[in-house]
Structure 1
Amino acid sequence: MKKILSPLFLGIAAIALFTVSCAKSDDTPVYDAAAQFKTDSVTLKNYVDSKFPDAQYDSGTGIWYEILTEGEGNYQYKIVDTLNAKFLKFKPTVKYTGRLLSGSIFDQTETDKTTTFEILTNTGYYYPFESTIIPAWTFAFAPKQIGDLKLSGLTEKGLQKGAKIHIMAPSRWTYGNRATGKIPANSPLDFVIEVVDLK
């Protein structure tokens, strides 16, 4: 009986020791969104200064942008008021290119093709609720405000049909600290978005 218990006891002791040593060696840093935003801000400022000196800075979001083509029309962005919150609702058809700041393209629409998104964004938190776009895109599309409701959009009327915008956004408004496909965690991103249609 002693011969059977000794290896069993040693095995349990080894597992316990391994578990304790793993717990002590876990030095994974805690994600600090504010610190990352500061880092991204410096990175984006250097990027813009060297490549896009005419870009404008939006201090509310930390997004740099250039209006490449003013849109036409007078599309009215709509607020859907529900029992729990207010949502900005719109459906754009676009062409776009997304790049890392290194210049490599991680996503784009195919030549001569477009893509359509259905957007329902919670206006209280500026973060997509039922949306297929990242928050940076919501800021690009949305007007500064609708009535008394401030939306923190980059332009007064929001993007209109035919508009083309270049945005460079901190990771807070892209994918945060999650790696996504070809995009590493904590990546500021560069997008050119052309609005083909709005509904």
Structure 2
Amino acid sequence: MKKLLSPLFMGIAAIAFLIISCNKSDDAPVYDANAQFKTDSVTLKNYVSQNYPAAQYNSETGIWYEILAEGTGNYEYKVVDTLNGKYLKFKPTVKYVGKLLSGSVFDQTDTAKEFEIITNTGYQYPFYSTIIPAWTFAFAPQKIGDMKLGGLTEKGLQKGSKIHIMAPSLYGYQNQAVGTIPANSPLDFVIEVTDIK
């Protein structure tokens, strides 16, 4: 019976592949992350210069940011080493507003909300995180020991920190439309950390 099912399964898989291949539109544009990043960089530079001239530019990520409040906490970020890699794991409680560059708000909190964040460290790919990469770079410190994480601030966000980030779509949802966020959208967030543990 197993000998009979194996060729049958292979045949069904081959037919499904052919159907999917035939249905794929040859006119659909191919996503080019580098080209989109360059487009976003120009768009963000113009947006920032017109609206937030005091913002700083992080050349390693292409993220623009403003520190609105340093924070008074003394949270120490730690790297957890697992069989699947090295991860940061922490639980911040935050208030935030997320908007498109048009000014349209796509998400915000009315009260502080706790998240559990687990993210692989630094620039490792494939990038895994329970949050978008822009938030990872906002929260993470620049480094822990000798390990470079690429965070925007030296110690990472602390209790009482408030940051404004403007990030290319590469560190948001890339070429995927999510809810009211169109594909290839640079994002603008203000994040306030009310607690972190």
Calculate the TM-score normalised by the size of structure 1: 0.84
Correspondence 1:162-181 to 2 at 5 A: 162-181=160-179
The partner residue of 1:137 within 128, 135, 138 is: 135
Structure 1, gaps ≥5 residues long: 1-18
Count of residues in Structure 1 that have an aligned counterpart in Structure 2 = 176
Separation in 2, partners of 1:24, 1:141:
39
Superposed displacement of residue 114, structure 1: 1.2
- Indicate the residue corresponding to 1:69 in structure 2: 69
Alignment of 1:45-60 (within 5 A): 45-60=45-60
Shift of 1:130: 4.9
1:155-182: CA deviation from partner (whole Å, max 9, x where unpaired): 0000110010000000000000000001
Equivalent position amino acid for 1:129 in 2: Y
Q: Displaced runs of 4+ in structure 1, greater than 6 A? A: 22-25
Matched, 1:43 2:43: yes
More off after superposition, 25-34 vs 177-186: 25-34
CA RMSD of aligned residues (A): 1.8
The one-letter amino acid of 1:100's match is L
Tell me the residue number matched to 1:8.
none
- Give the match for residue 33 of structure 1: 33
Distance 1:194 1:26, change over 3 A: same
Aligned to 2:153: 155
Specify whether residues 127 and 105 from structure 1 end up closer, same or farther in structure 2 by C-alpha distance, changes over 3 A only: farther
SS in 2 for 1:43: helix
Identity %: 73
What residue ranges of structure 2 are gaps of 5+ in the alignment?
A: 1-18
Distance 1:25 1:63, change over 3 A: closer
1:192 CA drift (Å)? 0.2
The structure with the largest alpha-carbon Rg is 1
Tell me the distance in 2 between the aligned counterparts of 1:48 and 1:141. 21
Instruction: Give the distance between the partners of 2:115 and 2:80, measured in 1 at CA.
Output: 17
Q: Deviations over 1:15-53 (max 9, x none)?
A: xxxx9xx87973111100000000000000000000000
